[in-house]
A and B are shown apart, each in its own frame.
Chain A
Amino acid sequence: MDATFSRLTMTGASAMLLLALVVMWRHHVPAYVTAFRMQSVALAFVGAVVAWLGDVPELFLVAALILGLKGWIVPRILAGMEARRPGERELHPLVNTEMSLLISGGLAVAAYEISRPLAAVVSLPTRGGLPIALALILVSLFIVVSRRRVIAQIVGFLMLENGIALLALLGAYGVPLVVELGVFLDVLLGVLVMQALVPGIEEISAG
């Protein structure tokens, strides 16, 4: 039982980390958005697994909200922003692809090393995924700092948010529902505000 639980959450968490790595390897914003959408689906999967096997029924609601908001609405807004943008589509990150991938690998190793004491304290069956969640946070942060275009940075930021949500799910079976709902509203509001601001920011940075 515990072994299945641990393995399912580990698989979901690893899929999320892999999708963050996919961003390093792709060169176009639609691929970034697809990676984020699939990552959110994987997060919803982890949420549902924790709700089911960890016996926290309210997390089913959270998983459904993740699926609806981050798996559908936010990616749609992002895709719409990119579709309206004129001009060149290919991204030219500040750090080239090979270096990005190798740095991400290094960050993942560092995350494993850092989270050792953390995993020793937590006794939940999900603790095996904690280093992966931490690695996801570090890699997303790297995406934010190494991308040039604002929309790619937003995707990185949303992935960072996913990583924090994953850490909360695996380390403490989620935060109270009220806090969770507040975070969802924040994410939605943040993306809507970004949608209004990004064209202006890009104009200034281009000009």
Chain B
Amino acid sequence: MTVIVLAVTQCLFLMIAAPALVGYVRWLKARLQGRRGAGMFQPYRDLRKTLAKGMVIADTASWIFHMAPCVVVASTVAAAALVPVISANQAGDQLGDLFALMALLILGTIFLALGGLDPGTAFGGMGSSREMTVAALTEPTLAIAILSLALTAGSTSLGTITNTLLTTPSNAIGPGHALAFAAFLIAMLAETGRLPVDNPATHLELTMIHEAMILEYSGPYLALLEWAAALKLTLLLTLAANLFVPWGMATSDGAGALAVGLAAVLAKIAVLATLLAVLETRVAKLRLFRVPELLAMSFTLALLAATSSFFTR
């Protein structure tokens, strides 16, 4: 019973904390650029405002356009349920492993691209085609990076991977772990539409990928998509923190252990989000035609990581 309560709580925690994380990154970026910036909780106000607004829908839009936001939200929430957040004893392991997680994420990406294509506008189609170019390389990279950990742990379920790493920390030393972490971070930046692959702060048509796909959405649909994007960022950051640096996670169901686990995961996500904001302030966006080169680099890193953990088991 406690296991189920814990699993639901973890998922809810990710869902509620997601806009705050995005708000924190935006606020820190503003501070680093010398602006005052909106507070950390601004995304919640934005979401409330957007939810209350009416919708303008193109005449050419079909049922796919209406379905896309729901599928995106549902698949992202389902993926969030699989991620170990506070406790390494993950009830979500019984629902699915890393392949289920990747399948859910790609389902969301595909429906987002379909939603962009459906109204038949130029921007939407452009954004969708770019998103597919990027996703074709990032999704396998993420999967292979986690797979290299799974090979060392001997199991593909996310909870077991973190548990194995907690019990045998020496697995983390060596080239495989570092390479997989680097590959995962690069692919994560591309997957969540951050710099240097996509610029989350602009609606400039030449640079946008994610914003181009959701350009036709407004009102509650837009709010759902923005919230799903925030949740995806949060869940990938949590995954990076907990799979590669699991220390501090609760291994028992005691209240004390869970409190420590919560504090640890908050601290780890805060560190990663700070790094993300600093990185986004320091780097410029890559030319679109150099993006596949960066992604091929991260794919090769992930491949090397998986190879080295496969052969040095």
Q: Which residues of A approach B to under 8 Å, CB–CB?
A: 3, 7, 10-11, 14, 17-18, 21, 24-25, 97-98, 101-102, 104-105, 108-109, 112, 116, 128, 131-132
Which residues in A have their C-beta under 8 angstroms from that of B179?
14, 18
Which residues in B have their C-beta under 8 angstroms from that of A10?
174-175
Which residues in A have their C-beta under 8 angstroms from that of B308?
14, 112, 132
- The answer to whether residues A97 and B296 also contact, given A14-B179, A112-B311 and a CB cut-off of 8 A, is yes
Interface readout for B18-32 with A: 1 if CB under 8 Å, 0 if not?
000000000000000
- The answer to whether residues A105 and B173 also contact, given A17-B304, A25-B293, A97-B293 and a CB cut-off of 8 A, is no
**Can you give 23 contacting A-B residue pairs, CB < 8 Å?**
A7-B174, A10-B174, A14-B175, A14-B308, A18-B179, A24-B297, A25-B297, A97-B293, A97-B296, A98-B292, A98-B296, A101-B293, A101-B297, A102-B300, A105-B299, A105-B303, A108-B300, A108-B304, A109-B307, A112-B308, A116-B311, A131-B311, A132-B308
Interface readout for B107-143 with A: 1 if CB under 8 Å, 0 if not?
0000000000000000000000000000000000000
CA distance A25 to B308 in the complex (A): 21
Which residues in B have their C-beta under 8 angstroms from that of A97?
293, 296
Which residues in A have their C-beta under 8 angstroms from that of B303?
105, 108-109
Return the 4 tightest CB-CB contacts between A and B, nearest first.
A14-B175, A105-B300, A98-B296, A101-B296
CA distance A128 to B173 in the complex (A): 14
With most chain B CB atoms within 10 A of its CB, the pick from A104, A105, A109 is A105
Which residues in A have their C-beta under 8 angstroms from that of B292?
98
User: Closest CB of chain A to B305's CB: distance in Å?
Assistant: 10
CA distance A116 to B311 in the complex (A): 8
Size bracket, chain B contacts: 10 to 19
**Chain B interface mostly:** helix
CA distance A90 to B293 in the complex (A): 16
Which residues in A have their C-beta under 8 angstroms from that of B2?
none
Which residues in B have their C-beta under 8 angstroms from that of A14?
175, 179, 308
Residue of A nearest to B310 (CB): A112
B299 CB contact (under 8 Å) in A18, A101, A109, A116 = A101
User: Closest CB of chain B to A65's CB: distance in Å?
Assistant: 26
Cβ-based interface call for B60 (8 A) = no
Q: Is the CB of A101 within 8 A of B311?
A: no
Q: Name B260-302 residues within 8 Å CB distance of A.
A: 292-293, 296-297, 299-300
Q: Is the CB of A7 within 8 A of B173?
A: yes
CA distance A23 to B307 in the complex (A): 21
Cβ-based interface call for B168 (8 A) = no
Which residues in A have their C-beta under 8 angstroms from that of B293?
25, 97-98, 101
A102 CB contact (under 8 Å) in B299, B307, B312 = B299
Which residues in A have their C-beta under 8 angstroms from that of B174?
7, 10-11
Residue of A nearest to B306 (CB): A109
Q: Is the CB of B296 within 8 A of A102?
A: yes
Residue of B nearest to A109 (CB): B307
CA distance A47 to B178 in the complex (A): 22
Residue of B nearest to A12 (CB): B175
Interface readout for B167-197 with A: 1 if CB under 8 Å, 0 if not?
0001001110001000000000000000000
A104 CB contact (under 8 Å) in B173, B300, B310, B311 = B300
User: Closest CB of chain A to B233's CB: distance in Å?
Assistant: 26
Which residues in B have their C-beta under 8 angstroms from that of A128?
312
Residue of B nearest to A4 (CB): B173
CA distance A128 to B308 in the complex (A): 9
User: Closest CB of chain A to B42's CB: distance in Å?
Assistant: 38
Residue of B nearest to A116 (CB): B311
B297 CB contact (under 8 Å) in A17, A21, A109, A131 = A21
Interface readout for B159-172 with A: 1 if CB under 8 Å, 0 if not?
00000000000100
User: Closest CB of chain B to A117's CB: distance in Å?
Assistant: 12
User: Closest CB of chain A to B290's CB: distance in Å?
Assistant: 8
CA distance A189 to B311 in the complex (A): 39
Q: Is the CB of A108 within 8 A of B307?
A: yes
CA distance A18 to B292 in the complex (A): 18
CA distance A182 to B200 in the complex (A): 57
For the A-B complex with A11-B174, A98-B296, A105-B303 known, give 19 more contacts whose Cβ atoms are closer than 8 Å.
A3-B170, A10-B174, A14-B179, A21-B297, A25-B293, A98-B292, A98-B293, A101-B293, A101-B299, A101-B300, A102-B299, A102-B300, A104-B300, A108-B304, A108-B307, A109-B307, A112-B311, A116-B311, A132-B308
